[in-house]
Every structure is written in C-alpha cells, then in structure tokens.
Amino acid sequence: MGSVVYTQPDGTVRELEAEAGQSVMQLATKNGVRGILAQCGGTLSCATCHVYVDETDLADCGPLADFEDDMLDTTAADRLDCSRLSCQVKVGEGQTIRVTIPPTQL
Amino acid sequence: MSDSLTEYPFDLRPAPEAVAHQQRIAVDRPLTRVAMQYGDEAWAIHRYGVAQQVLTDPRFVRGPFARRERTVPAAFEFPEFLLDTLQFADGDEHKKLRRLVQVAISPRRVQALRERTAEIANELIDDMIAKGDTANLAEDYATPLPIRVLSEFIGVPVEDQPKFILWATTVLSLDTPEDEVLATGMELYSYLLDLIAARREDPREDLLSSLANARDKDDTLTDAEIMPIAMILLVAGFDNTAGFLAAGVSALLRNGDQRERLLEDLDGRIAPAVEEILRHAMFEVGSPMAGGMGTVAMVATEDVDLDGVLVKAGEAVYVDPASVNHDPAAFKDSQIFDILREDSPQMMLSYGIHSCLGAPLARMEMQVGIAELFRRLPTLRLNGEIVRNMHVLTIPVTDLPVAW
Ligand code: FES
C-alpha cells in the first residue's frame, strides 16, 4: 500500500490509499477527485491529468515517460519543474506522493 | 435475461423512464448482443467499468474495418472516407499520429482561444439583445458560436470567414439538396487544401499550421492525413457542440435549483456543470429518449471475459454512452441532474486512445458559451418547447425559444 495526497487549487486536501503500482490518475478518477480529467484513460494523449508534485516526492515518481515531456508542453495550466502527467506516475509500496491539482486542465 | 423492463435497444419514451430503463439494464448485465442494420451483430456495453476496460485494452482493435475486411456494425452505413482516418488506426502507428494531432488541439492551444471565444459569445449576445427580448437560442447562439470559434481555431483568415462559414453551414445543413452539398463540399475541400499549403510555407499560431508542420522524427503529416482530421473537426465540431450547448442551457432553465447553484459561482462551477451536462443533460431537455446509440465498434482479437460475459475473438463491441453514463455502480442516483456531482467522469466524449479529438475545444466552448450567456442574461427563461430533429443521427436541436 501507498498513498496519494491531493490538494485542490482552493486548498482542500484529500488523502487516499493506493494499491502499489496504481497511478496517481487511476486512484483519482476512481475516487472522484475533482480536477483530473484523464480523458485518454492513461494512454498519454490528452494532457488533462496534469499535476504539480511536491518537490520532496519528485524523486519517487520516476523519470518522465517517453513523450510525456512533449505532452507536458501542451497542458492548459503552466508547466512547472514539478509538473507531471499523473497517469504516468505510479505509487510504489510504502510511498506517499503529494500532488497539487492545477487550476485548470483545459 | 432481458425482459420488457430491460429490453435493448428500446424506443423513444419519456426521459425519466428511459433513464430508469438504462439503470436496470446495467444492473442486469454488462453487455447485450444487438443485431445491427449494417455489419454483423455486436455487443453493446452498458457498464462503466467494462467500457473503461475495453477502451483502453489493446486487444480491441479497428484494423479489420480499416482494411475493409469487415463492415462497421452500425445503424447506418459508415462513410467510406472515415475508415481511413485516425479513428480506425490501431497500435503504435495510431498512437504516434494521435499524439501529433492532439498536440495541435491541445489544452494549451485551446486555452489560448478562451478569451476570443468569450468575445464571440458576447458579440452574439449583443446581436440577440439588439433584436429584442426573445430569441431562438439554437439558431442565434448555440449554432453560430462553435462555427465561428472553429473557423478561428482552424486558422481561416478573418476575410475568408463569411465564405467559410457559409460553406460549412451549407454542407452540414439538413435541408440542402444533395448535389449542392457535394459541390459546396468540394469548394470547402479545395479551399482547405490551399490553406494547408499556405500554412506549410508560412506557419502561424493555428491548427492547420501545426498539423501542416507536425513532425515526429522524420514523419510529417501529409495532406491526405490532415484533410480528414479537418473535415471530422468540422462535422463533429459544429453539430455536436451546438447540440450540447443547447441541451445544457435548456437543462439549466428546466432545473431552476441547478441554475441557481451555477449562478452563485459562475466561474467556479461552470467546469463541473459542463461535465454533468455532457453526462446527463440530454435527458433533461424535456423530449423523449431512446436507447441504443453507440460509439464506433471495436473487434476483439482474442477471447475476452468482460464482467462474466465471454466475448469471442472476432466479435464486435461498442459502448453506449447513455447507458454507461447512468450505470448505478459508477454514478450515485444517476438519474439526478446535479451540476456539483463529485463522481462525473462521464464518457460522452468517449475515453481512451480513441476518445474525442476535439474534446478540449468542445469543453471550452461549452464552458464559455454557457457562462457568458448566464452572465449577460441572468433572467433567461424558456419561451416555448425545444425542438429536436429526430430524423438526423445527431438529433440536432433546431429550436430553443428563450426570453429574458
Ligand atoms: S490521462 Fe491522458 S495523458 Fe494522462
């Protein structure tokens, strides 16, 4: 088990338990976390699952997936150094990943 | 086993009954085997989870249709030119093309058009106000808005826009004679070809420029790849967005409590409201609904178990969005129109690698279109019955009489 802490743009915080290997996007859409659209279902072709990862957890998220870099340039909210597409970030055993949801996905 | 309470497909009936029917089916079974007008029998998917699984599972493909080995199972004869588009490609080839195109219709690019969309919306509202205190919202607002936004998005120069809009509306209009549609379609086609050539030479910040110059290592998109994308955007982008806009406004006007909730925080609530409109609002416009619509089918490449039902290799499946969007297992009280619903990951624009290419644009237009309308005309009310053309596949809204 691991967990993800989602912070909404208005500051609302929600923590959810994740199965190991589940993506930050899957966990969010399964539990109705607002602000992660994920229209393409994790196939890296929509850029509507953008999140800002807490600096301290970035290393836990693994490297950018092939093409994720290009897709991150197309997100609606500004790309920051801590930007990731949440469908590409898998939660590892025992990890807690803290993310902030951007003000908009489109 | 299906009985009269869960028969599928089913004919027009009052919307609340149609929703209850969809809910019962999803509880009863994940799929129904349906005889189609064209092509073989196909499985219609009713459950949200199954739809999600199929739409992201590479074992379901469309290649057999693209290669003309199979006829697309559908209620109508599938237009030939669409079989050569992205929608029917599979695997890595598709992924590569899709991503190139998606970058051109990206959230970022759409975001850049938001302000301009609000300006266009306000110009249309100004025109309506100048004419009096009533309007046919379908004709005066919901239809022209997507057409104007799309022509800007594509990159049609301002001076050509009237001509372009006239062509596009003629091609899409319901009562234009067939030969006129064909002739206009040809003009539109060659105009777009010229524009693509011009943008390849001298790129600007617009869709055709990025498509014309899209590159993945040594590949560029050819005219033959770009044209169907542009044409699909035209066809899908007008009618459907106009229909959703009209349905959304109508649903809000019929559900005063929801409209109040929206007006309390227009900018903060418009995004979830649009998701709920996409999920459910067609059931809130006051006209009867039938059950049996579906997305383009896919073929199983091997035997796959879907929620206990065995779909055999070679069999076709499709998703009924109205069904899965009312699956009680995915949406609590799915019959209720609730603009602040937490669980609204609706599938009206499909899902997965083949999900609607124009989705970011459609969503933005709906958000801006509905928000600006209620901002300027907070006293908007229905002034007659909504009329939909049941004889056309997209069931477009032709009349939406309003007053303010
Ligand atoms: S879900 Fe589409 S890119 Fe992540």
**Residue B352: half-sphere exposure toward Cβ, Cα within 13 Å:** 23
Q: What percent of chain B has pLDDT over 90?
A: 55
pLDDT in tens, B159-175: 888 888 888 778 766 67
If you write DSSP's letter for every residue of B269-338 in order, what string do you get?
A: HHHHHHHHHHHHGGGGSSS-EEE---PPPEEESS-EEETTEEEPTT-EEEE-HHHHTT-TTTSTTTTS--
- Which residue type is seen at B110? V
Whether A33 is in the pocket of ligand 1, judged by its Cβ within 6 Å, is no
Whether A18 is in the pocket of ligand 1, judged by its Cβ within 6 Å, is no
CA distance A24 to A98: 10
pLDDT in tens, B101-138: 888 888 988 988 999 999 999 999 999 999 999 999 99
Q: Which residues, numbered 45 to 104 in chain A, qualify as contacts with chain B under a Cβ-Cβ cut-off of 8 Å?
A: 45-48, 67, 70-71, 73-76, 104
Here the ipTM equals 0.85
Q: Cβ A106–B55 below 8 Å, yes or no?
A: no
* Per-residue DSSP letter, B4: T
Mutate to test the pocket of ligand 1, among A48, A67, A79, A105 (most ligand atoms within 8 A of CB): A48
Q: How far is the CA of A6 from the centre of ligand 1 (A)?
A: 17
Residues 6+ apart with CB under 8 A from A42: A23, A25, A26, A49, A87, A88, B56
pLDDT in tens, B174-221: 677 888 888 988 898 899 999 999 998 999 888 888 888 876 555 677
Atom of ligand 1 nearest to the CA of A40: 2
Q: Cβ B52–A43 below 8 Å, yes or no?
A: no
pLDDT in tens, B368-391: 999 999 999 999 999 998 888 766
- Under the banding of pLDDT at 50, 70 and 90, the label for residue A13 is very high
